[in-house]
A and B are shown apart, each in its own frame.
Chain A
Amino acid sequence: MTAASSAFDVQALGSEMIAAARTALADRAPALEALAEMELRRLAGVLAEIGGLLAKGRIEKKRARGLIEIHRFTTRSVLLSLEGIGLLAADQAMKAVMRVAGAVLNRVVGFKVL
């Protein structure tokens, strides 16, 4: 163990910060993944339906293009919402990491920095 690491255990702090981030994300990442998968499967199904309507002659090409345009807006919108939910999870992880780091830092400097 070096003098530096005995005075300030960077390894241990790093491990604590990683553990805090992991805990903060533990439940959220699988839920977000499942939500994304379900929504994207639904959108894939809709695209197949539009193709089916066109193939069966129930809609014309021009209308199919219009429906695909709305589909495109919807896909972008769904991805933006998923991105937002992901960013919220990242914000939570960030706060958890800062709490851990702040506690260690305050102890080391002897006053409240964070």
Chain B
Amino acid sequence: MSRRANAATLVVALLLALPAGCMSRIAPHDPTIAAGLADLQTSHARFFDGLQLSTGTPEGAWECHRHWYEETRAAIAVLQVRAASHGRKDDPTAKAIDLLAKSVDELEQAHAEGFSAGEIPVLRTLFDSQLRMLIQLEDAKKRPGIAEVSL
């Protein structure tokens, strides 16, 4: 095979490979999503701190936290719209935010039925995991590597 033919083969191979690199499934880093997730993490921490102290008392009842659920759902809806605006089908960030919304629905349903104190640390860990990992993913998007990911 001539030098020219070799080069042509390489050009075709690289041109075929290029779209895979350019059309990543991952949406770019979005400061609005990053800030929104950080706010949700703070809000959840405060919510579970309060529940840890108030579960079993009238202050721990769902009615006293109804506004928190409304605000949280609204905040997540903003993130869902923002994530969808990047137009990446199967974007992990968008899918994970959808799962967070479903988790909040389940949490509210359980809260309306009444919590026991032993459940709060379990729920806290689950929501903390979701939000922390989403924040790590958003953070990884703006950095050249993930070696700095804090463990």
A binds B: yes
Residues of A near any B CB (own CB < 8 A): 4, 7-8, 10, 13, 27-28, 31-32, 34-35, 38-39, 42-43, 45-46, 49-50, 53, 58-59, 63, 66-67, 69-71, 73-74, 76-78, 80-85, 87-89, 91-92, 94-95, 98, 101-102, 104-105, 108-109, 113-114
Number of A-B residue pairs at CB separation under 8 A = 159
Residues of B near any A CB (own CB < 8 A): 1-3, 6-7, 10-11, 14, 17-18, 20-21, 24-26, 91-93, 95-96, 99-100, 102-103, 106-107, 109-110, 113, 116, 118-119, 121-123, 125-127, 129-130, 133-134, 136-137, 140-141, 144-147, 149, 151
The answer to whether A78 touches B14 (Cβ under 8 A) is no
Task: Name the one of B10, B118, B121, B137 contacting A85, with C-beta atoms under 8 angstroms.
Answer: B137
User: Could you write out 28 A-B pairs with CB less than 8 Å apart?
Assistant: A4-B6, A10-B6, A27-B145, A28-B147, A31-B147, A31-B149, A34-B151, A35-B151, A46-B125, A59-B118, A59-B119, A67-B110, A70-B107, A70-B123, A73-B99, A77-B99, A78-B133, A80-B95, A80-B96, A84-B92, A85-B136, A85-B149, A88-B141, A91-B21, A95-B21, A105-B7, A108-B7, A113-B11
Distance (whole angstroms) from the CB of A25 to the closest CB of chain B: 9
Contacts of A76 in B (CB 8 A): 96, 99
Distance (whole angstroms) from the CB of A19 to the closest CB of chain B: 17
Contacts of A59 in B (CB 8 A): 116, 118-119
Bound: A71/B21 CA distance, A: 33
Please give me the residue from chain B that is nearest to A49 by CB atom: B122
